[in-house]
Structure 1
Amino acid sequence: MNAQIPLAQRDLNLLQIEQEIMNKKYLLVNKKKDLDKKQKLNNYLDTVKDDYTKYYDFIVKEKQQQYNALLLLKEYMNDLTKTENLVDEQLRSVKHDQKDIIREIDKVKNELDELMN
């Protein structure tokens, strides 16, 4: 017993298969185009991220330099109070300035910590 598909039905099946193949090709071409667009966008985002990273690094470096300068100034003020014979008014002024510097050091340290986290 030979079960053969009628010629017309076979042609319809072949047309349907060809249509499915064309649909898959079309889908693959569209996916490739979509991937190309996403890759371009991704490259753009990488560039933007790099710019932000450079700016972030600059800000952190600047804050670290500010912190180091304030520590140096604090040390200088400590040395000044120990080595110089200051009158009471000068000593009060130096101690007041020291407190201001310490507050500023704390402020910059907190800003630096926030940047690092």
Structure 2
Amino acid sequence: RYMDPEAVVGCEDGTVRVCDMYSRSCSRIIRMHSCPVTCIALGEDQLIVSGSSFGTVRSGVSSDQKVAALKFTDRTGIKSLCYNPSSQLVFAGSTSGYADCWDLR
């Protein structure tokens, strides 16, 4: 689980960086996409879901650095993401106005 002194940042190079705010350094760098990360949703147990400017949505756990792609039919950029931990559903909204949903169970 992400604790208070950590910040998770999506970057132009397709990585997601977990930064320790006390030491002011990156504790983990995870390659999520091959294009810019446009949005991030965080879950419990270090779950990271990220969307990209190319319309890809990927999920991973920062401790093991493994990333899984979620299928998205609209190929425009992802504008927003929401993860609901109680239902384990991920919602994504695209720049062209479409929305999609995945069940992570």
Q: Could you state the TM-score of these two structures normalised by the residue count of structure 1? A: 0.15
Q: Could you state the TM-score of these two structures normalised by the residue count of structure 2? A: 0.16
Instruction: Choose 1 or 2 for highest CA Rg.
Output: 1
> Larger % of strand: which?
2
| Greater RCO, CA 8 A, separation 6+ | 1
> Larger % of helix: which?
1
